[in-house]
Structure 1
Amino acid sequence: MLITTLIGLAAACCTTVSFLPQVIKAWRTQSTRDVSFAMFTLLVTGNSLWLVYGALIGDLPIVVANVITLGLVGAILALKLRYG
């Protein structure tokens, strides 16, 4: 069970951190022209549902990954709303 959890946490870390460069770029350039509003709205919705699912089944990797990812994609969506 421990190795399964560690693999899940490693996978969650890789996929979650992948949004960080986009957040940094949008923040620095104050431009989100090429960011799709619809895609990030769906992504926020999906991550929210994954977070609820992970909490309901008590799966730590799913919960941790989606809390962090939701923060990052939420930031991108907020920057999109602010900068267009």
Structure 2
Amino acid sequence: MAKADKKNKKIVQSEKCIGCGICYSVCPVNAKLIKNDDFDPDTADLALRVIDGKAVIDDEFCVRCGACSKICPVESLTVVEVESASA
């Protein structure tokens, strides 16, 4: 996904998250990191983590592909378009 696309999208989470972790497992950023032999979930630059039973998106590493929102069984995650600051 192009950087321009990333800047125009955001993942929004509702309070419906049940902490199942399915989103964590389908995230392409996470999947790439998890394959590394030296993977450490505490220090890795993950796009998505499950903390205290809730999915937490890191906007710095998230590529806004929407894989998490498509797989979420309770529709807690949604990709939304955001307006450009220069508009």
TM normalised by structure 1 equals: 0.26
Larger Rg: 1
Which structure has greater helix proportion?
1
Which structure has greater strand proportion?
2
